[in-house]
Amino acid sequence: MSLKNKNLVSTQDWKKEELDQVLDLAIKLKKKPFNKNLANKTLFMVFFNPSLRTRSSFETAMNQSGGHAVNLAIGQGMWKLEHQEGTVMNGECAEHIKDAAKVLSRYGNAIGVRCFPELKNWKKEKNDSIIKGFAKHASTPVINMESTLYHPCQALADIMTVKEHLGKTKKKKFVLAWCYHPKALPTAVPNSAALIASRYGMDTTIACPKEFELDPSIIKSVKENCKLNGSKMEIVNDMDKALKGADIVYAKSWGSINYYGNWDEEKILRNKLKDWKITKQKMQLTNNAKFMHCLPVRRNVVVDDAVIDSKNSLVYDEAENRLHVQKALLNSIMR
Amino acid sequence: MSLKNKNLVSTQDWKKEELDQVLDLAIKLKKKPFNKNLANKTLFMVFFNPSLRTRSSFETAMNQSGGHAVNLAIGQGMWKLEHQEGTVMNGECAEHIKDAAKVLSRYGNAIGVRCFPELKNWKKEKNDSIIKGFAKHASTPVINMESTLYHPCQALADIMTVKEHLGKTKKKKFVLAWCYHPKALPTAVPNSAALIASRYGMDTTIACPKEFELDPSIIKSVKENCKLNGSKMEIVNDMDKALKGADIVYAKSWGSINYYGNWDEEKILRNKLKDWKITKQKMQLTNNAKFMHCLPVRRNVVVDDAVIDSKNSLVYDEAENRLHVQKALLNSIMR
Amino acid sequence: MSLKNKNLVSTQDWKKEELDQVLDLAIKLKKKPFNKNLANKTLFMVFFNPSLRTRSSFETAMNQSGGHAVNLAIGQGMWKLEHQEGTVMNGECAEHIKDAAKVLSRYGNAIGVRCFPELKNWKKEKNDSIIKGFAKHASTPVINMESTLYHPCQALADIMTVKEHLGKTKKKKFVLAWCYHPKALPTAVPNSAALIASRYGMDTTIACPKEFELDPSIIKSVKENCKLNGSKMEIVNDMDKALKGADIVYAKSWGSINYYGNWDEEKILRNKLKDWKITKQKMQLTNNAKFMHCLPVRRNVVVDDAVIDSKNSLVYDEAENRLHVQKALLNSIMR
């Protein structure tokens, strides 16, 4: 089916068959990486935040398809963008997202947007108004390169990697394991990981301390995904218990939604949880699980070198698959 | 006629027929956007200041012509450049414009430069020594991507847009309308807009508060342009009066030359002028005028949403035409 | 011989015949600059520090060979990278070089790295652990775009320029002349210049104040190079004496290794040495020498306009040759 002009804000917005179609194409492109399908086409990448993999893999994906990516970094050679509609713009923003989206739509053929949360006000930020604003106003397809709530390209690379290494996803045990990290990180990656694993019929376990449960709206969707696909969903506040029988250990740290914006207070709590780390001992509790992480990762804080550098680690395949799924996505929605 | 190797610092430096030739090519390229005319050619874009449209449209123009644009941002991955000749360089500048221009000329085929004024000393800054320094020392053509005095690529896009929508320019009424804005902005855009409108025989009205009149040297050129083309030029300190019969309302804010560098003092004056804003009521005074603005624009400060989002607004066509005129320019001067 | 997949950390790591092969190809590419040898190939340029020539010439070299360069600037749209192995990453670095190198190796075909010293601790920084870390962990070739110790691409451009202008290098007198500069600069360029001149059989004189002698390990290598090639090496603490009979005056400032990290103290010393500057009078002491400098240069501080703008100045040829040697290098190691 044609995916032309579709936005990708969250994998949840797409039908399973549409996601499958992108993943199938990604596998083909992994074997035959170069084409001229996107000749004369331009992808604008609007980065409100830093990037290594996303920037490098999107830019390379465009080039390997004969097209071109333009890297626009907000606040570095670009002013701030207003995203509230109807507002009187007498503050620090010099341009409205509406105008930026409409103008870029005149120049190019797709817009990627990376817009992390400000980590101040969850209720407000969970509206994800920047990515939604671009999706609303652009006349080209818009790709979420990680917003407050979602990181769908990471999720596609993750599930592609799981399929490659486990053969199938149904009834395999996927453990999303919260880990200690010195900073309170956003929840887009764990949200998207749990959503895609459950969408593909994996038994989805979220291992995290009680205060670090993900937003209820995400959990609701994960549960629905599991129900639709005949798999199980559980939240376990004990890492050792959670890891038992795991086929995939997907490590990730994130900040507590309950303490959102009160990070000093959250830190006191977080600092007591330094043993939430993936070690060789933890991995021995699993079903010879594969280790996954989206990167960047703080080695020997989130995960020990002995695990991430082991044979069971999929982190580089996972990172590489970003290139392939994004190229498949661009080849699907841009023409 | 051949435009090969011509610099574009101001539209005033070019003959009318030369400007026409670029505009004619732009119309053709708008219909047939892709070619390989600039294969193996490189444009260096030297940005001393931020950009969205300029960066995106130049980079896309090069790519759609088979060439490549390199984005060099001063102060972000690049040191400051000295522009005074013969100076003892023991200050903060690590490299002289002379050397940068000569070296880039060895690597590529054209140099674009964006160099906003520092907004400190008008007498000194109006010499426009950075863009002139590049034009002097480069052996490739140099393109002004907005300097203290001029923004010629914007002017070309503006007049292309006027021609598209009004059919002709002669004797049509062009009102450059000063608007309130919380900051004192540079005058390159209003200078270039008034210069190109008058050059193309439009009756050119500058609507602005008394203290915000443009530099006398610019006004002199606008008057000469009008005289040569049989059109009228007037400066009106009352916006309502100025808008009567307008075919084009070109909104733009700028700082007062008279208070240049004394921006705190200027702000007191400026803050009394918040009613200098383009509203639906103001537009009703005109001859069903089209609304123009170079963007970025502060919505509901400079212009109401009801105007910029109306059918009479040309702002996105104007932005789009940046791509076409610049591509025409690059295709003309780089080969 | 095949140079495929070779790292270039220092010219000292390469056989003379390998360097010759790159220089020979550079001469050919200077005459015939465009090819499609690197079609579908990607070079990642990781810049921890600013750049004009390096960035522009590498990006252009890739494009003129049909490939693409991605510009990644650390700290501007990218987080800091840890380079110590086995460390507990609870500090300010969000990612380990190991992971960055391995991931970029999955996306592209070569990695260039610019990593200046921090100018704090010579003993530690002279290990050059960032460039070595990339070279160790990447599975693609790694190119040093200037590290603490070396700037091999500059050295290749330098010797190419000498050969072009002097015809031969054997027994010609190359004077590396320390000059005054308001800041303490790194030693990568003087190290690499002395290493390449001596490698190519030039009589190599280092003119510098006593306290500014280069690191003993470098001097040792320069001496060995001279011995192997039948040429002379001397360190002279008197500029006038050193310049006598010079065929090449290679001006460069650098900070004193002896005062490394104690720059306030070094500055007192340095400020007494403002007459270490290349003037017309100094050039008259030479054998009608050619003047060289890697750029950027502080005019009238390091060298007078009258010298750098004279017929004997090779600075723009030297800068241009960066493009040709780097293109030759990329065409050799990336396929």
* CA gap C237, C239 in Å, rounded: 6
Of the pLDDT bands very low, low, confident and very high (cuts 50, 70, 90), residue B44 is very high
**CB of C99 less than 8 A from some CB of A:** yes
A209-213, A318-322, C80-84, C121-125: which range is least confident on average?
Answer: C80-84
| pLDDT of res. A78 | 63
**CB of B228 less than 8 A from some CB of C:** no
3-state class (DSSP) for residue B64: helix
Instruction: Tokens 């001149």: give the residue.
Output: C197
* CA gap A164, A68 in Å, rounded: 29
Region A3-24: mean pLDDT is 98
* CA gap A189, A22 in Å, rounded: 19
Contact C320 B106 (CB under 8 A): yes
Contact C298 B89 (CB under 8 A): yes
Q: For residue range A224-255, what is the model confidence (pLDDT) as tens digits? A: 999 999 999 999 999 999 999 999 999 999 99
| pLDDT of res. C78 | 63
| pLDDT of res. C49 | 87
**CB of C92 less than 8 A from some CB of A:** no
Q: With 80 as the cut, is the pLDDT of residue B77 above it? A: no
Q: Which of A76, A84, A107, A134 to mutate to test the interface with B (most CBs of B within 10 A)?
A: A107
Region A317-325: mean pLDDT is 98
| pLDDT of res. B80 | 78
B52, B57, B60: residue with CB nearest A78: B52
DSSP secondary structure letters along C286-314: SSSPEEE--S---BTTTB-HHHHTSTTB-
Region B227-253: mean pLDDT is 97
* CA gap B197, B203 in Å, rounded: 8
Region A87-92: mean pLDDT is 91
Beta strands in B97-192, from DSSP E residues, in sequence order: 110-114, 142-144, 173-178
Q: With 70 as the cut, is the pLDDT of residue A77 above it? A: no
* CA gap A196, A156 in Å, rounded: 8
Q: What are the two backbone dihedrals, phi and then psi, of residue A9, each rounded to the nearest 5 degrees?
A: -95, -45
Q: With 90 as the cut, is the pLDDT of residue B155 above it? A: yes
Of the pLDDT bands very low, low, confident and very high (cuts 50, 70, 90), residue B126 is very high
The dihedral over CA atoms of C131, C135, C140, C145, expressed in degrees to the nearest 10, equals 30
| pLDDT of res. C322 | 98
B34, B305, B323: residue with CB nearest A86: B305
Contact A76 C72 (CB under 8 A): no
Angstroms from B310 CA to nearest CA on chain A: 14
Q: For residue range C32-86, what is the model confidence (pLDDT) as tens digits? A: 999 999 999 999 999 988 888 999 999 999 999 999 999 998 766 667 789 899 9
> Within 10 A of B17 (CB to CB), how many other CB atoms are there?
8
Which residues are bridge partners to B292 per DSSP? B250
**Host H or E run for residue A72:** strand A68-73
Of all residues in chain C, the one with the smallest CA distance to B43 is: C60
Of the pLDDT bands very low, low, confident and very high (cuts 50, 70, 90), residue B246 is very high
Q: Which of B63, B96, B109 to mutate to test the interface with C (most CBs of C within 10 A)?
A: B96
- For the entire predicted model, the pTM comes to 0.97
Angstroms from A36 CA to nearest CA on chain B: 13
Q: Which of A74, A90, A109, A137 to mutate to test the interface with B (most CBs of B within 10 A)?
A: A90
Beta strands in chain B, from DSSP E residues, in sequence order: 42-47, 68-73, 81-82, 95-96, 110-114, 142-144, 173-178, 203-207, 233-236, 248-252, 290-292
Q: Smallest Cα–Cα separation from C137: which of C101, C176, C168, C169?
A: C101
Of all residues in chain A, the one with the smallest CA distance to B59 is: A70
Instruction: Tokens 């089916």: give the residue.
Output: A1
| % chain B with pLDDT above 90 | 93
3-state class (DSSP) for residue B29: helix
* CA gap B46, C55 in Å, rounded: 13
Of the pLDDT bands very low, low, confident and very high (cuts 50, 70, 90), residue A79 is confident
Q: Which residues of A35-71 are buried (b: 16+ CB within 10 A; e: fewer)?
A: eebbebbbbbbbbbbbbbbbbbbbbbbbbbbebbbbb
C76, C296, C323: residue with CB nearest B76: C76
3-state class (DSSP) for residue C147: coil
Q: Chains with ≥3 Cβ pairs under 8 A against A?
A: B, C
| pLDDT of res. C77 | 60
Please identify every stretch of chain C with a pLDDT value under 70, giving residue numbers as ranges. 75-78
Contact B87 C51 (CB under 8 A): no
| pLDDT of res. C50 | 85
**CB of C164 less than 8 A from some CB of B:** no
Which residues of B are less than 8 Å from C34 in CB distance?
A: 40
| Whole-angstrom Cα Rg for chain C | 20
Which DSSP category does C138 fall into?
-
Which residues of C are less than 8 Å from B72 in CB distance?
A: 52, 55-56
Residue A263: partners with Cβ closer than 8 Å, 6 or more residues away: A119, A184, A255
**Contact indicator for A197, A190 with CB cutoff of 8 Å:** no
Contact C72 A60 (CB under 8 A): no
Mean predicted lDDT score pLDDT of chain A: 96
Mean predicted lDDT score pLDDT of chain B: 96
* CA gap A316, A161 in Å, rounded: 10
Helices C315-333/C16-31 angle, 10° precision: 110
Q: Smallest Cα–Cα separation from C231: which of C292, C301, C170?
A: C170
Report the relative pairing of strands C95-96 and C42-47 from DSSP bridges.
Answer: unpaired
Which residues are bridge partners to A299 per DSSP? A303
Identify the structural domains of chain B with CATH numbers, from first to last: 11-150+322-333 (3.40.50.1370), 154-319 (3.40.50.1370)
Which residues of B are less than 8 Å from A82 in CB distance?
A: 299
Angstroms from B119 CA to nearest CA on chain A: 18
* CA gap C315, C292 in Å, rounded: 5
C-alpha distances in Å from residue C334, one per residue of A121, A224, B216: 48, 49, 58
Contact C323 B106 (CB under 8 A): yes
* CA gap C274, A24 in Å, rounded: 67
How many B×C Cβ pairs under 8 Å? 85
* CA gap B23, A299 in Å, rounded: 57
Of the pLDDT bands very low, low, confident and very high (cuts 50, 70, 90), residue A73 is confident
Q: Smallest Cα–Cα separation from C107: which of C78, C134, C138?
A: C138
Of all residues in chain C, the one with the smallest CA distance to B89 is: C298
ipTM of the complex: 0.96
Q: With 70 as the cut, is the pLDDT of residue A75 above it? A: no
